Amino acid sequence: MIVPNFSLSQTPTHLTISISLPYIRVSAAETLVDGAAFHFSCAPYLLKLTFPGPLVDDEENPAHATYDPNDDRGTLTVTLLKREPGDFEDLDLTTRLLQPRREAPTRAAAGPPLIEVVGEAAAPGAAPDPPPVDRLVYDESLPDESLPAASSPFLLSPSSRSCPPPAPSISVSASLAPRYGFNRSHHSAFSSLRAELREMCECASLDSLRPAEARALRLEAEREKYDEGRYCGDFFANDPRFAALGEGRDPLYEAALLSPPAACVPPPAPAGDVSEQLASLSVSAPPPAPAFTPAEAALLSSLPNLEHLLPSPPPRHLLLGLLDVLFAYCYDQRLTSSEGSVESPWTISILAPSLSWLEVYDAPSDSPASVLLGCVRRSLVYPYLRLLSFAAAVVVPDVLRLLSLGRRGALRAFLGVRAALDGSETHYLLNRFVVDDYCVFLQEVGEDAFGAFAGEVEREWGRFVEGGLGRVRGMLDLDLEEAEALVLADLEEEQ
């Protein structure tokens, strides 16, 4: 069955559901209202929604439905009475409405829940079984390998730099296999992928690497692929101090400075007919602006029905994992004038360790500043424009702006990432490992918890860059001071 596109609107007393149903037999359509649940079926479409409050459909207050074949090739509009007057919250987060509402499970005070529901089907007459233990919730209190302490998060001891991966011939049970992806919920995935699909990640041997070993190899790969000459070229061509001495700044860089990410700009209000435009000229308060574009709303409705059992407040490693994907999104949006390109899947995935290495950050060894520093470091190694001032003073503020917009701002960015990766022949699998779960997670996390994390990130990064980017240069472990000093020395000799 196909989940149709739909939209929701409400008044304090009524709820309106508009369902796009092109070319259907209206006589075959059926609707059912059962408390807070609304079911609609008309082959080949099936829609099941669960709202925050109960609805009414009885003889005294029947549901009112009309079908307009001229509206978007066919639109069914259903108007229902609310049992209790008031506004339903988060109606724009449609993925949550597609999930059945459940009571919060009780658990002991020590530790988060250890299971998630992955299916509900059961054989007829079979005894109820305990929920399957499949997607384990990662407990930050469990001991794990960590990086050696150093003044820079990118400095590794010689023993960590040279740690070899385990022999691939050793078979490791599923319970002990290295886990990666969203909330460390995946393992042993690369062994079943074709060789060309392994290109989605920078390292195709994650099934045999513990987290500390994978991070050590990642930092070593960044160090080896760093091109000092390329960095100096971008530094000379685009730094305002030297722009007058060369041929001018890169036109792509000039355009990037004027192109904020699409998720930072509120979506435009939908254009209505002439009567709606005239009605909007009244002195009454205008309707609230939509939080998502029609394309984003359609993506929300198409997300898989995932259910996460996470503690409150949400685990810190999940919040830290938001930052590198948001950085990668903002960088790509800047370089493509907010339109994306065929290179966007590679650019986004290579800049975010959560995607290119399926890394899960550990608290408290990782902090918001260290995650953002790692993104700035990768932006000086891999993509087209490798300029410290652009990454640290343009892209990172874009990330802070997205966080300040709340979870909906971050969700719009992740929907953009999902759309970009979905168009790639290889990188689309990263949606299954990371992005889809985060799109659902951002609808589940509380606005207060998200706002507190956003404020922490802004304060920590503000203290870090206070007084300029000198501290950032010294923490990246790429010898940027020496490279820039060479450029300055060459200019002095030429003059």
- Domain residue spans of the chain: 6-91, 228-265+295-494
Which single residue is written with the structure tokens 């409405």? 97
Q: How far apart are CA 56 and CA 77, in angstroms?
A: 16
Q: How far apart are CA 68 and CA 231, in angstroms?
A: 59
Q: How far apart are CA 436 and CA 430, in angstroms?
A: 9
What tens-digit pLDDT sequence spans the chain (495 residues)?
788 999 999 999 999 999 999 888 888 899 999 999 999 999 899 999 999 999 999 988 999 999 999 888 899 999 999 999 999 999 999 998 987 665 544 443 344 445 555 554 444 554 444 443 333 344 444 444 443 344 556 655 444 444 444 444 444 455 678 889 999 998 888 887 877 777 889 988 888 889 999 999 999 999 999 999 999 988 888 876 665 665 667 889 999 999 999 999 988 766 554 444 444 444 444 445 568 998 999 999 888 877 787 788 889 999 999 999 999 999 999 999 999 999 999 999 999 999 999 999 987 889 999 999 999 999 999 999 999 999 999 999 999 999 999 999 999 999 999 999 999 988 999 999 999 999 999 999 999 999 999 999 999 999 989 888 889 998 999 999 888 888 888 777 776
Residue 105 has which token pair?
Answer: 């499970």
Q: Check residue 190 and give its pLDDT.
A: 84
Which CATH number fits the domain 6-91, given the four candidates 2.40.240.20, 2.60.40.790, 3.90.190.20, 1.10.3720.10? 2.60.40.790
Q: How far apart are CA 351 and CA 216, in angstroms?
A: 17
Which single residue is written with the structure tokens 């932006």? 379
Peptide bond into 44 cis (omega under 30): yes
Handedness of CA 480, 484, 490, 493 (dihedral sign): negative
- The answer to whether the beta carbons of residues 113 and 137 sit under 8 Å apart is yes
How far does CA 200 lie from the centroid of its chain? 17
Q: How far apart are CA 470 and CA 232, in angstroms?
A: 16
pTM confidence score: 0.82
Q: Check residue 25 and give its pLDDT.
A: 87
Q: Check residue 432 and give its pLDDT.
A: 93
Terminus-to-terminus CA distance in the chain, angstroms?
Answer: 72
Which single residue is written with the structure tokens 């690497």? 209
Q: Return all residues near 223 (Cβ < 8 A) that are at least 6 apart.
A: 154, 477, 478
Q: How far apart are CA 437 and CA 384, in angstroms?
A: 29
Q: Check residue 15 and give its pLDDT.
A: 96
Q: Return all residues near 343 (Cβ < 8 A) that are at least 6 apart.
A: none
Read off the amino acid at residue 329.
Y
